[in-house]
Structure 1
C-alpha cells in the first residue's frame, strides 16, 4: 500500500506550520466508538488495515517484553490526533508516517498528536515502540503466564494490555507477529508460519494471518512446546501446540479435531480460515478461549480425572464453532455477543445430542426453566448488563450461553428445520471476514423465513421475561434464582 513520503509530509508540515502553531489542541482524553458495554473501547476516525507486532522475549515471563507495534490504517475523518487503546506498558516513542510525534496517556488510551492534520481517506502508518508487561492482573486478561512461558487471553477488552491498537471487534485487520525468543523455546501465533531466523542464541518466528482478525482473538504462545501436525478436511493443515512432555497423553484428544471440523462443515459449510488447532497451556484461567485459528485450552481439561468424554468433546466443539461464529463473523458491538456464544453453545449441544445421546430438547427445556432468572441476573440476550469494571469477563453470563442457544432453539421451532439450516449457512457465508449485527441476523432470518419476525425477536432477544416456546406451550420459566446447570461448559465450572 503506498504511503505519503517523508518529503511530502515535510512539505505539508511546512505549508501548514502557521496553522499548527496557532492551533491549540484540547487536553488528551480517552475516546470510544460508542459501545454500550465498553464506552472507551475502540477509537473513532480511522480504520486499521494491518498490524505488525514485534516482541522480544528474554526467557522469563515475569519481565516486560520489548515491543514495536506498527499500525497501517486509513483515516475515516480528518484527524489532528490519533487515539489508540493501550495500557500496561511503557511507551518509548511514537512515529506517524516516519515523523516523531508527541504522545500522552489518558485513561487506557495512548493519545498521539499527528505531525500534520490528516485528511479523511488518507493512509497513515503509526509506529509505537513500547514494552508489553505480562506481570499485571491476569483476571482482566491480556498475557497469561504459563508454567513455561506465555499465551494470550484478550477477550473481551484486554488486547490493549498487550499491544496498542483499535481494540474493538468492529475493526478487524490483518496481523503479522514477529517474536524473538531463546533457541530452546517454541513460538506459535495465529495464522501460518511465514519465516524463521536463528541468530546468536535467539530465533525470530514470523506468522501472518490470511484473514482479518479482531484484536481480542490474537494469540501468541511462547514455551517449551511440541507442535503436532495432521491434516483436516480438504487438506486443511491442523497444528496443535502442547507442553512437550504431554504430547503422548494428549494425542487421544487431539486426533478428534479433524472429525469435529468435518462435522461442523456438514452443519454450516467450509471451515473459514487457513489452519486450526489447539493450544494446550499449563495454566489455570477458569475458561477456554476461541483465539483465531489456535484455540486456547487449559491442560487440566484433558489431563484431569473425572471429566466425562462427552464434556471435553463439547468444550472442543464449542471453541471450534466459534471459528465461524465470533471469529469469521465477529460482533459489531459487544451487545451482539449472544450471536457468538449462543451459536457456539448450540453446536456444542447438537454435537452432544448426536454423539453422546444428550437430548437437545431436554437441555433446552431446563434452560427455559431458568431463563427468566438468567435474564433478571444478566439482562436479556441481546441487551446484556454492563460487566463489572474490575472484572470485565463477568459479561460472560449464562444468559449469553444456554440462554442464547434457547433463542436459536425457539427460532428453529418457529421457522422450521430447513429454513433454520439455510439461515445458518447463509449467515456465515454472507458475513465471512466481517463484523455483523443482531439487526442483520434478524433481517436475514425474516427474509429466509419469508415473513416479518420482528415481534418474535423483540421478545426473545430484548424481553425481560421469556416468551412462550413455539411448539411447547407447556414449558414454564419458573426458576427464582440462578443455578449451576445447564450452562455451556466453555466458561462453566468443570464437573467433579
Structure 2
C-alpha cells in the first residue's frame, strides 16, 4: 500500500475500525473469548488450531451501496490441533447460520471473533468445512474499512486487518489460501475480483452472476471485489500475460492513456527481479476518496483523483503505479509472516518506486535516500525501528503504517546495497522472490539469505539497521547526518 503524501493529504492508511455485534443463534455454555496467532502488533488477529486451504465467498448486491449484502462464506480448512471451538474473525455483519462439516453449529461472538461450537470436537488432521450464512455490511462503523463505498458501487480494501469486516475468515497474512468469489449484481453493473474469471452467466431476473478464482494462494488482506458501472480494458503484458484494467465507464477516454502504461511497467519490473508471479494483473480505478492506493492481489486499487488531478506530475503518478505493482512480488507473492515484517513489503515497494523515478524521470535515488537519512532518527523515535515497529495507538490500528516502514525501510535496502555492492544486492532480490514465492517469510529469512548471497555474516549490520533506535552511519556516505529529533517526527 502507498499512503498518499499528495497535497493536501497527510499520511493515512485504511485499517480496522470498531466492531459491530453479530446476532448469535445460541450461546455456548462458557463465555467466548477472542483468540489470536500471537502477532506482536495485533494479539487477537488470526486464529490458532486450523489451516485454511480455500475460501468460496458469494455476495448478492442489489444496487444500493448503503445496505448490507447477503453473503455466504464457505471455508475449506484442516484442523491442526484438537478443537472444541473454532474461532473466526468477523465483526461487521449479521450471522444467520453456521454449519461445520455439514451439521448445524452453535455460534456466538467475543470481541471481533465469531466463535463456532461444532456438534462434535475436531481432532488434529481432520477436514474442517465451515459454511457461514451472513450479511456483509458496507456501511462504516467507527472507521470506513473493508468495503469502500465508491460513487457507483463498492470496492474492497482490507489492509491491515479489515477483511473480517467483509467476510468470516482467518484474518492474518500467515494463513494464505485460494479464493473463489461469486457475485450477483443487477445487469447494469460490472463485478471484478482477484484472479481469473471462470464464468459469466445470467442470474435470476435482471441480474448477472460473476465468478472469479485465484490461481495462487492469497492473504485475506489482499482480497478484492469491486462492483460498479465499469469497463474492463484488456491488453497483453510480457510473455502474453493477461492484463485487465478496470475503470469507470464514463472515464475510459481520460484514463486509457494511464492504464496503457501497465505492460511496460510490468516489463520493467520483470527486468529487475524476474517473472511476474501471478496469473494476470491490472489496475482498478475507483471513484472514491480513501487517501491511499492498495496492492490487492492481481488487481491494484487506485483512486481516480490520482490520474485526473493536474497538479500531480506524470513521473509521480507512474512511480505510484510501480509502487503497487512491486507489491505483487513483495507483500503479495512473498507475504509477511507477522505484521512486524511489514518493512519487507513497504520498504521494497518504496525502493522500486524510487528506482523507477530515477531511471524514467531523472529523480536521483541518492537524493531521496539522503533526505530519508536526515529524517530517519525522527522516524525511529516516533514509530520504532523498521523491523521492530511500535504497536498501534489504542483504537488506531492504522498507526503501524508510519514513515519508518516506507522511506525509512527503503533506506535500509540502500544501506545494504552500499554494503554488499549492486550486483550481489540484485542477486539477493531475485533469489528472495523466487525462494519464497506463494509463501510467507520473516525478517530473519531475509537477513539469512542476504548473508548467504554476500558470502559473509551480516547479522551485525542488520541488527543496527533494523532494530537500533538510532540510524547507523551510511556505508560510503560518512558525511550524511540525521537531523536532531524534536518532538514527533513526520513524513
Verify: 1:155 aligned to 2:159, yes or no. Answer: yes
Verify: 1:48 aligned to 2:52, yes or no. Answer: yes
Q: Distance in 1 between the 2:358 and 2:336 partners?
A: 27
1:425-464 matches, cutoff 5 A: 425-464=430-469
Which shifted more, 37-46 or 132-141?
A: 132-141
Verify: 1:280 aligned to 2:288, yes or no. Answer: no
| 1:356 corresponding residue in structure 2 | 361
- Encode CA deviations 1:80-132: one digit per residue, 9 max, x unaligned: 11000000100000000010000000000000002111110111100000000
SS at match of 1:118: coil
Does the Cα contact within 8 Å between 1:181 and 1:187 map onto a contact in 2?
A: yes
| 1:70 corresponding residue in structure 2 | 74
Verify: 1:180 aligned to 2:189, yes or no. Answer: no
- Encode CA deviations 1:27-57: one digit per residue, 9 max, x unaligned: 2100000001111100000000000000000
Structure 2 CA distance for partners of 1:140 and 1:377, relative to 1, 3 Å = farther
Which entry has the higher C-alpha Rg, 1 or 2? Answer: 1
Given candidates 373, 376, 382, the residue that maps to 2:378 is 373
Does the Cα contact within 8 Å between 2:82 and 2:122 map onto a contact in 1?
A: yes
| 1:339 corresponding residue in structure 2 | 344
Verify: 1:35 aligned to 2:34, yes or no. Answer: no
| 2:480 corresponding residue in structure 1 | 475
Given candidates 149, 174, 177, the residue that maps to 1:145 is 149
* Contiguous gaps of at least 5 residues in structure 1: 1-23, 486-496
Does the Cα contact within 8 Å between 2:379 and 2:490 map onto a contact in 1?
A: no
Q: Give the C-alpha shift of residue 390 in structure 1.
A: 2.6
| 1:249 corresponding residue in structure 2 | 254
Q: Give the C-alpha shift of residue 478 in structure 1.
A: 1.6
Q: Distance in 2 between the 1:137 and 1:317 partners?
A: 32
Does the Cα contact within 8 Å between 2:336 and 2:345 map onto a contact in 1?
A: yes
Which shifted more, 283-292 or 137-146?
A: 137-146
Q: Distance in 2 between the 1:435 and 1:378 partners?
A: 24
Number of residue pairs aligned between Structure 1 and Structure 2: 462
Q: TM-score scaled to structure 2, two decimals? A: 0.93
- Encode CA deviations 1:302-331: one digit per residue, 9 max, x unaligned: 011210111101100000000000000000
Q: Distance in 1 between the 2:43 and 2:95 partners?
A: 23
Q: Give the C-alpha shift of residue 484 in structure 1.
A: 6.4
Q: TM-score scaled to structure 1, two decimals? A: 0.92
1:111-126 matches, cutoff 5 A: 111-126=115-130
- Encode CA deviations 1:373-400: one digit per residue, 9 max, x unaligned: 0000111000111122433222211100
Structure 2 CA distance for partners of 1:483 and 1:328, relative to 1, 3 Å = same
- Encode CA deviations 1:15-34: one digit per residue, 9 max, x unaligned: xxxxxxxxx96421000000
Q: Distance in 2 between the 1:411 and 1:447 partners?
A: 13
| 1:7 corresponding residue in structure 2 | none
Does the Cα contact within 8 Å between 1:185 and 1:223 map onto a contact in 2?
A: yes
* Contiguous gaps of at least 5 residues in structure 2: 1-27
Q: Distance in 1 between the 2:94 and 2:189 partners?
A: 25
Verify: 1:328 aligned to 2:326, yes or no. Answer: no
Given candidates 201, 205, 216, the residue that maps to 1:211 is 216
Verify: 1:171 aligned to 2:205, yes or no. Answer: no
Q: Distance in 2 between the 1:291 and 1:407 partners?
A: 25
Q: Distance in 2 between the 1:394 and 1:149 partners?
A: 28
Q: Distance in 2 between the 1:322 and 1:141 partners?
A: 20
Q: Give the C-alpha shift of residue 138 in structure 1.
A: 7.5
SS at match of 1:80: coil
Verify: 1:60 aligned to 2:64, yes or no. Answer: yes
Does the Cα contact within 8 Å between 1:93 and 1:130 map onto a contact in 2?
A: yes
Q: Distance in 2 between the 1:52 and 1:29 partners?
A: 26
SS at match of 2:199: strand
CA RMSD of aligned residues (A): 1.1
Does the Cα contact within 8 Å between 1:153 and 1:219 map onto a contact in 2?
A: yes
Q: Give the C-alpha shift of residue 483 in structure 1.
A: 6.2
Q: Give the C-alpha shift of residue 180 in structure 1.
A: 0.3
Does the Cα contact within 8 Å between 2:381 and 2:489 map onto a contact in 1?
A: no
Name segments (4+ residues, structure 1) moved above 4 Å: 481-485
Verify: 1:133 aligned to 2:137, yes or no. Answer: yes
Q: Distance in 2 between the 1:392 and 1:221 partners?
A: 24
Does the Cα contact within 8 Å between 2:216 and 2:278 map onto a contact in 1?
A: yes
| 2:423 corresponding residue in structure 1 | 418
| 2:275 corresponding residue in structure 1 | 270
Verify: 1:296 aligned to 2:301, yes or no. Answer: yes
Q: Distance in 1 between the 2:291 and 2:383 partners?
A: 19
SS at match of 1:240: strand
Which shifted more, 289-298 or 136-145?
A: 136-145
Q: Distance in 1 between the 2:64 and 2:404 partners?
A: 39
Q: Distance in 2 between the 1:101 and 1:259 partners?
A: 51
